[in-house]
A and B are shown apart, each in its own frame.
Chain A
Amino acid sequence: MTRLFDLYESEPERFFDEVIARNGSPKPHYEIMMRRFNLFSTADIRARREMANIFFRNQGITFTVYGVEAGIERIFPFDLIPRIIPAPEWDIIERGLTQRITALNEFLSDIYMEQKILRDKVIPADLVLGSKHFRREFVGIRPPLGVYIHITGSDIIRDIEGRYMVLEDNLRTPSGVSYMLQNRNAMKRAFPVLFDRYTVRPVENYPQILLRTLQEISPTPKADPKVVVLTPGVYNSAYFEHSFLAQQMGVQLTEGRDLVVNNNKVYTRTTRGLQRVDVIYRRVDDDFLDPLVFRPDSMLGVAGLVNAYRKGNVTLANAIGTGVADDKVIYSFVPDIIRYYLGEEPILDNVETWLASNPKHLKHILENLETLVVKAANESGGYGMLVGPESTLEEREQFAEKIVANPRNYIAQPTISLSRHPSFYNDTEIAPCHIDLRPYVLYGKSLSIVPGGLTRVALKRGSLVVNSSQGGGSKDTWVIDI
């Protein structure tokens, strides 16, 4: 009988493979997993996949795809083979992210207070002050504990040598953490024995740490600060996650219409009158938070919320205006930001990045479009990007026009060969698929990272895009002690 991994081709000269070493044998931390999967028959695999699928369907774990047809609900594809990160490697990621997020928070605090980094000309001032996400209304306002970015999720990839690098930072409202938690539940249900063979570090306490973090940033210290989650509503693509996190933390899930601001204080409207709110974990973008300040057509926000926030009567997580630091242009300066504030060398590297706003870089970008990945500086979720090697001449020409018309809005990076991991690309067969990793960082009185994160996988063969909106799936991610 052919075993599952017998037909697996890792192509070590072209890609870094997570499971198979260059010499063709499995890496030590994957050996048990591989042996176990090789024991499974096709029927075993089907049965376990069915167990996982039933779990997801019953939990209503779906996301909504925009653009194609209005609001299609889909189950986020889940891959059965777990990604395993040995503790020493995790240690690098953990230290690297701690350093990076600390520095980025210093940066935000600086540009919204004294702007030293701009005066010292480490970053051209116009790139920061001209960013769409820089909110000058909040200059001089210090959030509790001086923390701006309470919940973040940076995307980490590995290059062909297997080095961990940061591809982008998500400092506004990163999503996906519910999949991290539910993938673990689904795996435990489908492969209980495999868990026995490894010492997998737990992720299950994420909701407790999240709640503690949110309570720590209450504007005034209280025994039991009232925290709510603010969602755009049931039609939002990440609605499941919003309700899941609220439920796991045991706090109320609110929509804009559930909140009211009176005398610069925020309240929930309840069947027993108004109740004061201290901290809002908001999953609504800055632009929609308050129709009086930002978009007047927003139905999702709360009139008066920004003033309440400015008066220090409520804390928003994350703070308003953090998007300026995860802008893809600012991204290219993060190594300098780390050196400037912490006086350390970055532990995690950036991907080489060219800025279209820099004339020399622009020339290089336009000449090398077919090998580069070009991204809009302010978009997320894989929208508005050009993958050079997969594009047609016509697409490149159209994109070139867009870049020239608005250079501040574009950056380019070399097409990186993301590392690959065996994954089921159909019911019963595996193939190497590209993956990345999004660990979640929580920042209140101190900074903590749950061991693991969301491993996203490009299940379309050959595709490099791992976003759920673009046909990606995810894997359970194990940090193991060896």
Chain B
Amino acid sequence: MLSRVAESLFWMSRYFERAENTARFLDVNFNLLLDLNSITSVDHPNYWKPLIMVMSDPEHFTTLYQEYDAHSVTDYLVFNRQNSNSIVSSISMARENARSIIESISSEMWEQLNNLYHVLHSVTPQQVHNDPYSFYKEIKNASLLFQGITDNTFSHHEGWDFVQIGKYLERADNAARLVDVKYHMLMPGQQHHADLVRNSVDLIQWMAVLKSCSALEAFRKVYLSKIDPDNILRFLILDRGFPRSIAFSICAAQEALWKISGSSVHRYVNNVDRLIGKMEAGLTYTTVEDILLQGVHEYLEEIEHGLAKVGEQLHLLYFAYHTPKIEPTDISESLPFTGLAGGRANWSQSQQQQQQ
């Protein structure tokens, strides 16, 4: 498969997943505020700022808007094209990538993505404001339909594996960001544990976190109604069976990477397989007590760094045009760590050629 095609498949999938996650967070926030309406004001910045922290960059946000209120945050995360992670931007990027490989994907995949793109361009902020539930549901369903179409119309060969990698790296990253920010908001210090759980506002908030991952029902089946933060961390980070948990996503990404390269347990053939394997093993042998001991924020930050490194190595190994060969990488020659944190992975626009 052409490196360029593989790269576009990866980013198409990754941006679509990103749009879905943004829609989930916004949707749940609106619902949360309906629940809390009697207790607090809907426009309170405490309920909107975290969304920007999870999905984007507060510094950039404040250059464009005055207040962290429902209207501004929705506008920034849904419509604003200056925000490269807004839903409109993400879907445009997904479509642009798909358009450049339209002959490689199934026509049903293209139609589904193209259709969502056109729907998004006909929606007004007022419509979203009037009926956020229907709007976010449409985005989520469009993404799920796209995944279903992809699974059922697109050959499960190398290209499909790159689609899976894009989807699951993005999902793991989003889950890590979400838990990180929410934990930070709700858990100022470990000692307040008991008090906080009793605090009904926080309880509702934790339920919202679960809901945004479609995890509330699945969670209850495991932990009944014991919605306490440790169980929630355990479920969203470490659960092997729930498809939006970090462990599940990393495991799925690993499976796809190994399928491409032929790596297996105890035997990796390249650096990206080594890194993902290391993350997967870490998650397998970590308990929630270990995480609390290390500090939730520190632990999740490590996950985010790890995902970024996987993304970098994936790029060098399969996409970068100057290194087109796949050979077992010399592990002793590990690459210098290039720093990150905060920023989200993005398709490098400079790789596109402007041509006439």
Q: CB within 8 Å of B: which residues of A? A: 58-60, 66, 232-236, 243-244, 246-247, 252-255, 257-258, 260, 268-274, 299-300
Bound complex: CA A66 to CA B326 (Å): 41
| With known contacts A60-B102, A235-B356, A269–B111 Cβ distance under 8 A | no
Q: Are B100 and A258 in contact (CB under 8 A)?
A: no
CB contact list, B77-105 vs A, under 8 A = 96, 99-104
* Residues of B contacting A273 in the complex (Cβ-Cβ under 8 angstroms): 324-326
Considering only CB atoms, which chain A residue lies closest to B111 in the complex? A58
Considering only CB atoms, which chain A residue lies closest to B159 in the complex? A271
Count how many chain B residues have C-beta atoms less than 8 Å from C-beta atoms of the other chain: 28
Q: Are B107 and A270 in contact (CB under 8 A)?
A: no
B4 within 8 A of A: yes
Our pick among A233, A234, A246, A270 for the contact of B3 (Cβ within 8 Å) is A270
Considering only CB atoms, which chain B residue lies closest to A252 in the complex? B2
Q: Are B103 and A271 in contact (CB under 8 A)?
A: no
Q: Are A234 and B2 in contact (CB under 8 A)?
A: no
Considering only CB atoms, which chain B residue lies closest to A235 in the complex? B355
Can you sample 9 A-B contacts with CB below 8 Å? A66-B356, A234-B100, A247-B102, A255-B4, A257-B4, A257-B321, A269-B2, A271-B260, A273-B325
B321 to chain A, nearest CB (A): 6
Considering only CB atoms, which chain B residue lies closest to A256 in the complex? B353
* Residues of A contacting B39 in the complex (Cβ-Cβ under 8 angstroms): none
B331 to chain A, nearest CB (A): 20
* Residues of B contacting A234 in the complex (Cβ-Cβ under 8 angstroms): 96, 99-100
Considering only CB atoms, which chain A residue lies closest to B105 in the complex? A247
Query: What mask results when residues 224 to 262 of chain B are scored 1 for a CB within 8 Å of chain A, else 0?
Result: 000000000000000000000000000000000000100
Our pick among B104, B114, B326, B354 for the contact of A272 (Cβ within 8 Å) is B326
Bound complex: CA A299 to CA B356 (Å): 10
| With known contacts A233-B355, A271-B318, A254–B2 Cβ distance under 8 A | yes
Q: Main SS of chain A's interface residues?
A: mixed
Q: Are A257 and B103 in contact (CB under 8 A)?
A: no
Bound complex: CA A270 to CA B323 (Å): 10
Most B CB within 10 A of own CB, among A60, A244, A271, A272: A271
Q: Are B3 and A271 in contact (CB under 8 A)?
A: yes
Bound complex: CA A234 to CA B353 (Å): 9
Bound complex: CA A235 to CA B104 (Å): 17
Q: Are B321 and A271 in contact (CB under 8 A)?
A: no
| With known contacts A233-B355, A235-B354, A271-B260, A253–B103 Cβ distance under 8 A | yes
Bound complex: CA A95 to CA B111 (Å): 42
* Residues of B contacting A66 in the complex (Cβ-Cβ under 8 angstroms): 356
Most B CB within 10 A of own CB, among A58, A254, A300: A58
Bound complex: CA A232 to CA B355 (Å): 7
B158 within 8 A of A: yes
* Residues of A contacting B283 in the complex (Cβ-Cβ under 8 angstroms): none
Q: Are A270 and B1 in contact (CB under 8 A)?
A: yes
CB contact list, B309-356 vs A, under 8 A = 318, 321, 324-326, 353-356
Q: Lowest 10 A-B CB distances belong to which pairs? A: A247-B103, A243-B103, A269-B324, A233-B355, A273-B325, A271-B318, A234-B100, A246-B103, A235-B355, A271-B6
* Residues of A contacting B102 in the complex (Cβ-Cβ under 8 angstroms): 60, 243, 247
* Residues of A contacting B6 in the complex (Cβ-Cβ under 8 angstroms): 271
| With known contacts A60-B110, A257-B321, A269–B3 Cβ distance under 8 A | yes
A152 to chain B, nearest CB (A): 23
Our pick among A233, A236, A246, A271 for the contact of B158 (Cβ within 8 Å) is A271
Most A CB within 10 A of own CB, among B96, B318, B353, B354: B353
B13 to chain A, nearest CB (A): 15
Q: Are A233 and B326 in contact (CB under 8 A)?
A: no
Bound complex: CA A308 to CA B274 (Å): 39
Q: Are B353 and A270 in contact (CB under 8 A)?
A: no
Q: Are A60 and B324 in contact (CB under 8 A)?
A: no
Considering only CB atoms, which chain A residue lies closest to B98 in the complex? A60
Bound complex: CA A255 to CA B107 (Å): 21
Q: Are A260 and B324 in contact (CB under 8 A)?
A: yes
| With known contacts A271-B318, A300-B355, A60–B114 Cβ distance under 8 A | yes
Q: Are A258 and B355 in contact (CB under 8 A)?
A: no
B146 to chain A, nearest CB (A): 15
Q: Are A299 and B2 in contact (CB under 8 A)?
A: no
* Residues of B contacting A272 in the complex (Cβ-Cβ under 8 angstroms): 1, 326
Bound complex: CA A272 to CA B161 (Å): 14
Bound complex: CA A121 to CA B165 (Å): 66
B96 to chain A, nearest CB (A): 8
Q: Are A59 and B2 in contact (CB under 8 A)?
A: no
Considering only CB atoms, which chain A residue lies closest to B260 in the complex? A271
* Residues of B contacting A260 in the complex (Cβ-Cβ under 8 angstroms): 324
Bound complex: CA A109 to CA B355 (Å): 33
Considering only CB atoms, which chain A residue lies closest to B99 in the complex? A234
Q: Are A244 and B103 in contact (CB under 8 A)?
A: yes
